[in-house]
Amino acid sequence: MFENLSERLSGVFDKLTSQGSLSEDDVKTALREVRVALLEADVSLPVARDFVKAVQERATGQAVTKSVTPGQQVVKIVHDELVNVLKGDTEDTELLKVDNPPAPILMVGLQGGGKTTTTAKLAKRLKEKQGKRVLMASLDVYRPAAMHQLEVLGQQIGVDTLPIVAGQKPADIAKRAKQQASMGGYDVYMLDTAGRLSIDDELMAEVEAVRDVTNPRETLLVVDGLTGQDAVNTAENFNDRIGISGVILTRMDGDGRGGAALSMRAVTGKPIKYVGLGEKMDAIEEFTPDRIAGRILGMGDIVALVEKAQETIEAEQAERMMKRFTKGQFNMNDMKMQLEQMLKMGGMEGLMGMMPGMGKMAKQVKDSGFEDKTIKRQIALIQSMTKRERANPALLQASRKKRIAKGAGLEVSELNKLLKMHRQMADMMKKMGKMGKGGMLKQAMK
Ligand code: GDP
């Protein structure tokens, strides 16, 4: 599906992962090559640029994980970023919406893109995988051969087609399909519209008319994936005029450049729902960003390895911390980490707002003036402590307190407030730890 891109990328990453350590320049060079590879695969320029930028930012900020090489870590970041561009912000790539029978599905696209074939492929899937009763109708009034083609495919896969009546307009055929679908107890009816060689007003007006009489649950654009950037432009055009709910990329079995798959979501905001992988009726697959990213990169082993290493480290860290907390060993370094975490999550207020039942407390926090500003001052106070003081806050007597407050440019009273809060938090951690061990938390979960 993505042979060329895949080969290029594995060339780049083979070099990277074989090195024990990486300089910033190594990563930069590699990412430049990634960008070229993406552009050559016909990924749109802004998408390629944003992609590389996102990877670079994440690679710079990432803590080094022991037990995997930096190059392997970069591969994982690239993988995650691929999933991001393929998926977009929402999760609506899943199955077609075909509730409320009879659910209309409108198939649109240019001529020769694979619309009729895909209509039949989808009908077969709906029938076999979801047990749906499907009716297909061809609205291609200009090409009797196309109508006939759908009929033949229908017979082949055992799906009914709407009887052909000569001389009807597409919108009227759509109405007839709707009626027949209701009366005949069908779950889904699929409308295979006429295509044109290029986008024109007449075609769009015709599809609009069909859309308006049927109010489709899904409007799927079928485009030839081999046409790269053109496929993305076509999708934008159809989406602007008709409004589409998803895209199906055909001919992804060819070893074309495949860049359309990567640009589609970012440019049009619409998910790719399926990919066509051949002429046979079973040659269609759901588009799953994870799996596709894996195929493009061809480095599933490395991705899994890094994931495992990261999980292990996080789990170990969390466990070590929890152990210390339950023994009451909650020191100023821990406190600083918690405060920083709070800042990241939008302050105490934001944190409380996220927890169920804490909304009221969030307001109290706000009223008490416990805001970002205060948190930053507290962090400054901790930074003004020596290493020993941070590890053991019990050391803090009057003279030390004065020095610390002065170092942070603040009053001792503020340091006292921080210390009081620290004690309360340490107490709370200790209690929470006990609850977790066999007390209330476990009881509640039963
Ligand atoms: P339409 O004009 O958009 O309805 O296009 P058709 O459904 O008639 O398809 C045009 C040609 O493309 C036919 O020969 C199909 O068999 C072929 N085709 C459709 N989808 C695919 C696909 O995913 N892979 C390949 N290799 N061929 C396909």
Check if the beta carbon of residue 276 is closer than 8 Å to that of residue 118. yes
* Token pair recorded at residue 65: 């994980």
State the distance from the centre of ligand 1 to the C-alpha of 224, rounded, in angstroms. 8
CB-ligand 1 contact for 347 (6 Å cutoff): no
Q: Is the ipTM, as predicted for this complex, more than 0.85?
A: yes
Check if the beta carbon of residue 98 is closer than 8 Å to that of residue 188. yes
Sequence ranges of the chain with CATH classification 1.20.120.140: 3-91
Peptide bond into 101 cis (omega under 30): no
* Token pair recorded at residue 14: 């083979």
Who's near 268: CB < 8 A, 6+ residues apart? Answer: 232, 235, 236, 239, 244, 247
Q: What is the pLDDT of residue 313?
A: 74
Sequence ranges of the chain with CATH classification 3.40.50.300: 103-287
Q: What is the pLDDT of residue 259?
A: 84
CB-ligand 1 contact for 249 (6 Å cutoff): no
Q: What is the pLDDT of residue 22?
A: 72
State the distance from the centre of ligand 1 to the C-alpha of 119, rounded, in angstroms. 10
Rounded to whole angstroms, the Cα distance separating 438 from 446 reads 11
Tell which CATH architecture fits domain 327-445. Answer: Orthogonal Bundle (1.10)
Residue 429 CA from chain centroid, whole number: 35
* Domain 3-91: which CATH number of 3.30.420.10, 3.10.450.50, 1.20.1070.10, 1.20.120.140: 1.20.120.140
The predicted model scores a pTM of: 0.71
Rounded to whole angstroms, the Cα distance separating 133 from 295 reads 34
Q: What is the pLDDT of residue 197?
A: 78
Q: What is the pLDDT of residue 443?
A: 40
Taking CB atoms within 8 Å and a gap of at least 24, the contacts of 149-158 are: 149/116, 150/116, 150/119, 150/120, 150/192, 153/116, 153/117, 153/119, 153/120, 153/281, 154/120, 154/123, 156/120, 156/281, 157/120, 157/123, 157/124, 157/127, 157/281, 158/127
Torsions phi, psi for 47 (to 5 deg): -65, -45
Return the closest-CA partner of residue 414 out of 365, 373, 377, 368. 377
Residue 191 CA from chain centroid, whole number: 30
Rounded to whole angstroms, the Cα distance separating 398 from 360 reads 36
CB-ligand 1 contact for 279 (6 Å cutoff): yes
Q: What is the pLDDT of residue 442?
A: 41
Annotated binding site: 109-116, 192-196, 250-253
Query: What are the mean pLDDT values of the chain's consecutive 10-residue runs (446 residues total)?
Result: 80 77 80 89 90 86 70 84 83 73 95 95 95 96 91 96 93 96 96 86 91 95 91 93 94 80 89 92 90 78 73 77 80 85 65 55 58 85 93 90 94 93 84 59 40
Check if the beta carbon of residue 442 is closer than 8 Å to that of residue 436. yes
Q: What's at 47, amino acid-wise?
A: V
CB-ligand 1 contact for 193 (6 Å cutoff): no
State the distance from the centre of ligand 1 to the C-alpha of 115, rounded, in angstroms. 7
CB-ligand 1 contact for 112 (6 Å cutoff): yes
Sequence ranges of the chain with CATH classification 1.10.260.30: 327-445
Annotated binding site for GTP: 109-116, 192-196, 250-253
Rounded to whole angstroms, the Cα distance separating 290 from 79 reads 9
Q: What is the rounded end-to-end Cα distance, in angstroms, of the chain?
A: 48
Rounded to whole angstroms, the Cα distance separating 390 from 388 reads 5
Largest separation between any pair of C-alpha atoms in the chain: 98
* Domain 103-287: which CATH number of 3.30.1130.10, 3.30.470.20, 3.40.50.360, 3.40.50.300: 3.40.50.300
Q: Rounded to whole angstroms, what are the CA distances from 132 to 153, 155, 162, 208, 429?
A: 17, 16, 16, 26, 54
Q: What is the pLDDT of residue 240?
A: 93
Q: Which atom of ligand 1 is nearest to the CA of 225?
A: 23
Check if the beta carbon of residue 264 is closer than 8 Å to that of residue 247. yes
Written in H, E and C, the secondary structure of the chain is CCHHHHHHHHHHHHHHHCCCCCCHHHHHHHHHHHHHHHHHCCCCHHHHHHHHHHHHHHHHHCCCCCCCCHHHHHHHHHHHHHHHHHHCCCCCCCCCCCCCCCEEEEEECCCCCCHHHHHHHHHHHHHHHHCCCEEEEECCCCCHHHHHHHHHHHHHHCCEECCCCCCCCHHHHHHHHHHHHHHCCCCEEEEECCCCCCCCHHHHHHHHHHHHHHCCCEEEEEEEHHHCHHHHHHHHHHHHHCCCCEEEEECCCCCCCCHHHHHHHHHHCCCEEEEECCCCCCCEEECCHHHHHHHHHCCHHHHHHHHHHHHHHHHHHHHHHHHHHHCCCCCHHHHHHHHHHHHHCCHHHHHHHHCCCCHHHHHHHHHCCCCHHHHHHHHHHHHCCCHHHHHCHHHCCHHHHHHHHHHHCCCHHHHHHHHHHHHHHHHHHHHHHHHHHHCHHHHHHC
State the distance from the centre of ligand 1 to the C-alpha of 278, rounded, in angstroms. 8
Q: What is the pLDDT of residue 439?
A: 43
* Token pair recorded at residue 327: 């023994």
